[in-house]
Structure 1
Amino acid sequence: MENLEFNSSEYFQKIYKRPVLLEAKNLTQTFKHGKTERTVLNALNLKIHKREFICVIGPSGCGKSTFSRVVAGLDAYSSGEILVDGKAITGPSPERGMVFQGYTLFPWKTVKENVMFGPLMKGQSQATAEAHAREWINIIGLDKYENQYPHELSGGMKQRVAIARALVNEPKILLMDEPFGALDPHTRQKMQRHLMDLWQNIDITIIFVTHDMDEAILLADRIVALKANPGEIKEIIEVNLPRPRHPDVMLTPEFKKLRQHVDQLVHADEDELDPALAELPVIPRMTQVSHCK
């Protein structure tokens, strides 16, 4: 732990001096179903700086995944602006890599062939694409598995391949939508540490969508907390915990204090979002077996 040497004020001053890589200006996304209309994102204003690690959290239906898909260029937006290096996002681009919870690997391709796919689509030769793919396969520690197919890999391995497939294109931004949500706790923790190591050693900005508040605090420089109906920024939290971070930081009073604050932000409006939660019925007794001795 390096708490004694960490100065959060200086750390964030350095971040805010970096160029703004991504900027949302009054970003609004409205979905129409017949005569009904629902605003999923409402007038979002956000600046993300080069090499930041941003986590986006909020209750279900607040627009977390919609925001990441808009940044990826997969979904159009209704109004406002979303800019990368001052240029409007108009569709998908290799400069914005995307990693989903569901791996999205090509099942008929090997690990190496999956990672080679992007470079080949960019026009690289077979030899160059293979060399770049091998470099990233080595970085993620799967060189012994490069000729295996996705069905032969564990969940953690598949997600590492998905990350390598995104990073081999040398994107400016890596978008991650609940990437570790399907993993068991032990594998999830190992993937979190591996991701932090990657981020600290390569030139990448990460936007990470998660429901897990502990995960958000462990990983992020700043946490963007959204509220739903409509999806708006409720608060942006500076995570003033030292880097590099080890899971042991979760045991500290500073972490627990942040966790309590984030928990209140995310769950404060749950009854409003789903009124049925506020009036749960009394369960009628349907068994003769008592839990009392």
Structure 2
Amino acid sequence: MSQSTLFDVNSHFQKIYARPVILEAKQLSQVFKYGKTERTVLNQIDLKIHKREFICVIGPSGCGKSTLSRVIAGLDPYHSGEILVDGEMITGPSPERGMVFQGYTLFPWKTVKENVMFGPLMKGASRMTAEAHAREWINIIGLDKYENQYPHQLSGGMKQRVAIARALVNEPKILLMDEPFGALDPHTRQRMQKHLMDLWQNIDITIIFVTHDMDEAILLADRIVALKANPGEIKEIIEVDLPRPRSLDLMATPEFKRLRKHVDHLVHAQEDELDPALQDLPKIPRMTQVSSTK
């Protein structure tokens, strides 16, 4: 009997929804102003995320995915509505919400160990305590042999592991990840996806993961929040009814392909939801006498 046959979807999601709500957005809106004009990037977002969920956020360019993650992180003030963590209003950045960006955002003048130590030191830990916590996380991400190297001496996948460790060493309730693997080659990206799933399954953390990659969203998420653009609104929340733990082999199954088709339709079905700048692309004037047929 296969794992998918044994998987009880209803029981799985009942257990998730029985957990406490760790993050809640109520009528959350974000408006950007450009001179006298305004653009609504997020429009009345209502969302509840439960403790230890893995949420992926997808949608066309310009739908507000990164804006949502920055608002949750407390990096940007929002226009209206409410957003709460454990019932408390978000008013700015906090160690309880770690952030990992697509760019590695490591301090280039600090070693791996010093980068990971930075958060605990800022929270007031002694250097001895900060170093012990940093070493613990450096071991977890498998970079103990590289703790004294600098970011320019590391590969892209190594840098992103350091960025993840630097966020997790502060023991956040929520880890926000904005296209964290977007700059990696396909093989490294797959290895990082597997490593992230292993981390999440073994520590007490809720993950909100922004991605353009629909396969990645299905592979990682408990639920996928699909946004529409202009303005950014929740179009659908998809329960990923695939068994855990997941491997890349799952991508070849009919169940995965069914979800992939549905998610692809949500993101690309309506042309008017795509990046508005793409709708007004000019006709390219001919600037050469060389023909593609010559």
Match of 1:7 in 2: 8
For residues 278 and 267 of structure 1, the distance between their equivalents in structure 2, rounded to whole angstroms, comes to 18
Q: Is the CA contact 1:98–1:175 (under 8 Å) kept in the aligned structure 2?
A: yes
* Cα-to-partner distance string for 1:171-228 (whole Å, 9 max, x where unaligned): 0000000000000000000000000000000000000000000000000000000000
For residues 156 and 176 of structure 2, the distance between their equivalents in structure 1, rounded to whole angstroms, comes to 19
For residue 5 of structure 1, report the CA deviation from its aligned partner: 1.8
For residues 170 and 291 of structure 2, the distance between their equivalents in structure 1, rounded to whole angstroms, comes to 59
SS state of the match for residue 67, structure 1? helix
* Cα-to-partner distance string for 1:206-251 (whole Å, 9 max, x where unaligned): 0000000000000000000000000000000000000000001000
Q: 1:279 to 1:178 in 2, by over 3 A?
A: closer
For residues 8 and 248 of structure 1, the distance between their equivalents in structure 2, rounded to whole angstroms, comes to 20
- 1:1-293 to structure 2, matched below 5 A, reads 2-271=3-272, 273=274, 274=276, 287=291, 289=293
* Cα-to-partner distance string for 1:97-127 (whole Å, 9 max, x where unaligned): 0000001000000000000000000000000
Q: Which moved more, 1:247-256 or 1:278-287?
A: 278-287
Task: Output the aligned Cα RMSD.
Answer: 1.9
Q: 1:272 to 1:80 in 2, by over 3 A?
A: closer
Partner amino acid, structure 1, of 2:77 = A
Partner amino acid, structure 2, of 1:93 = S
Partner amino acid, structure 2, of 1:80 = G
For residues 251 and 118 of structure 1, the distance between their equivalents in structure 2, rounded to whole angstroms, comes to 41
For residue 54 of structure 1, report the CA deviation from its aligned partner: 0.1
For residue 29 of structure 1, report the CA deviation from its aligned partner: 0.3
For residue 286 of structure 1, report the CA deviation from its aligned partner: 5.5
For residues 206 and 161 of structure 2, the distance between their equivalents in structure 1, rounded to whole angstroms, comes to 17
For residue 4 of structure 1, report the CA deviation from its aligned partner: 2.4
Q: Which moved more, 1:76-85 or 1:4-13?
A: 4-13
For residues 200 and 277 of structure 1, the distance between their equivalents in structure 2, rounded to whole angstroms, comes to 42
Q: 1:276 to 1:185 in 2, by over 3 A?
A: closer
Partner amino acid, structure 2, of 1:248 = D
For residues 52 and 288 of structure 1, the distance between their equivalents in structure 2, rounded to whole angstroms, comes to 52
Q: 1:95 to 1:16 in 2, by over 3 A?
A: same
Q: Which moved more, 1:265-274 or 1:29-38?
A: 265-274
| Structure 1, unaligned runs of 5 or more | none
Q: 1:267 to 1:280 in 2, by over 3 A?
A: farther
Q: Is the CA contact 2:229–2:273 (under 8 Å) kept in the aligned structure 1?
A: no
TM-score normalised according to structure 2 size? 0.95
For residues 23 and 93 of structure 2, the distance between their equivalents in structure 1, rounded to whole angstroms, comes to 15
For residue 277 of structure 1, report the CA deviation from its aligned partner: 5.1
- The percent identity for this pair of structures is 80
SS state of the match for residue 75, structure 2? coil
For residues 227 and 278 of structure 2, the distance between their equivalents in structure 1, rounded to whole angstroms, comes to 21
Partner amino acid, structure 2, of 1:197 = D
* Cα-to-partner distance string for 1:75-102 (whole Å, 9 max, x where unaligned): 0000000000000000000000000000
SS state of the match for residue 46, structure 1? strand
Query: How many residues in Structure 1 have an aligned counterpart in Structure 2?
Result: 290
For residues 9 and 271 of structure 2, the distance between their equivalents in structure 1, rounded to whole angstroms, comes to 32
Q: 1:101 to 1:12 in 2, by over 3 A?
A: same
For residues 211 and 288 of structure 1, the distance between their equivalents in structure 2, rounded to whole angstroms, comes to 32
SS state of the match for residue 45, structure 2? strand
